Structure 1
Amino acid sequence: SEHIETLEEIDIEYREIATEAGITNFRRVPALDTTPAFIEALAHLVQHALEGPEVNLAHVAALPTTVKLYPQDKWAWGWNNSSEVWNGRLAMVGFSAFLLELISGRGPLHAIGLL
């Protein structure tokens, strides 16, 4: 069905089911985020947004042009973002070689004829 049930309707429906099942102490957990401070903060955010300039969805969802999805700095010696990326890549190559040997019974050196 395409309708929204209120919490009271759900309470009534499930209380009847609980009563039929022999449950005498039926309670519903309070809904999340219904504290007055939270509702007041939401109202303040909405009021603040309404007072500001109109912003369309395309503008909000647009990423800045300077977003770096991974470290693109030049390689440098020592522990830094670049070395972490390369250590991760080498670890993936080593793990792939391990899986190849585990599955085939022959290691990568056997596969290329060195052993």
Structure 2
Amino acid sequence: MESKTTTTNIPPVATAFNGKDRNAFLFGWNPQAELWNGRLAMIGFLAYLLWDLAGYSVVRDVLHLVG
């Protein structure tokens, strides 16, 4: 039985900016921190959107207190 192996030109690790894995968690100011910051911001935005759709709105509650 023959085994078929396929080769691609895709690198095993996406190395951009500083030549390190862009998905790795590195502490400090680096391009990976920007990627993680964006991902966590998207999760936070989705969580707030779901929270608001469930009927709990921080913005609406604050406006009721002010007005």
**What is the TM-score normalised by the length of structure 1?**
0.32
Higher relative strand content:
2
Higher-Rg member (1/2):
1
- RCO comparison, higher one (Cα < 8 Å, 6+): 2
Higher relative helix content:
1
